[in-house]
Amino acid sequence: MNGVERTERANDTRAAIMDATYRALCTHGYADLTMAAIADEFEKSKAAIHYHYDTKDELLAAFLEYLLDRFVDRLRVEEGAGPEARLDAIVDALLFDMDDRDADRDLHTALLEIRAQAPHRAPFREQLTANHTLAEDLLVEVLEDGVEAGVFREVDPRETARLVLATMLGGRVYDLTLDDRDVAADVREALETTVLEGIRRSEGE
């Protein structure tokens, strides 16, 4: 086996571990998640998990990075679109796919539990910071492109991106923790009417 084949096999193994982690998180949540529970969802040798990841925290930090890669992949199809369409795509992806959020509700609940551990666990905090930074930078880039293209009003891209992200996170937390199935859609609509519409230039402006 040459170096390329070894790398491909290692990547395949890591991807399978991430899939197993996804299933285990959805089933058990963060509090009851164990390496053994993840191994039960893993079709290959259980020793492979411990070869790649020494602890549950290390594995879950890698899982957060994996989710970030998936998020970026979802947005690549929008790269050829204009700033307005790209902004909408990012906002919708950050809050929830409104049509599919029930399918991943258990996962998002587990991720909220992981986020709650971040003040006490450096690996989670570091990866969540990296995830936040990338999302913020994506928004800043779109806002800067929109201002330059003349479709957005002059705004501070960094401040606006942080406001959008904070609103999205609040909407996600409310959706997961309140008995209100409309709250995510309400937050999305409020963000549109109170913030995003103020950014977009009207025709003839």
Helix, strand or coil for residue 152? strand
Which pTM was predicted?
0.82
* Structure tokens, 115: 């986020």
Least confident of 5-14, 21-30, 90-99: 90-99
Contact 93, 160 (CB under 8 A): no
- C-alpha span between 187 and 46 (Å, rounded): 42
Residue 200, strand partner residues:
152
Q: In the prediction, which pLDDT does 67 show?
A: 86
- Please report the sign of the dihedral spanned by the C-alpha atoms of residue 152, residue 157, residue 160, residue 164: positive
* Structure tokens, 28: 């058990």
Helices (H) and strands (E) in the chain, counts: 10, 0
Contact 174, 180 (CB under 8 A): yes
φ, ψ for residue 200, nearest 5 deg: -75, 135
φ, ψ for residue 202, nearest 5 deg: -80, 160
Instruction: Give pLDDT tens digits for 67-104.
Output: 888 877 776 655 678 999 889 888 877 775 544 556 57
Instruction: Give pLDDT tens digits for 114-135.
Output: 999 999 999 999 999 999 999 9
Q: Domains of the chain (ranges plus CATH)? A: 1-54 (1.10.10.60), 55-199 (1.10.357.10)
Contact 144, 157 (CB under 8 A): yes
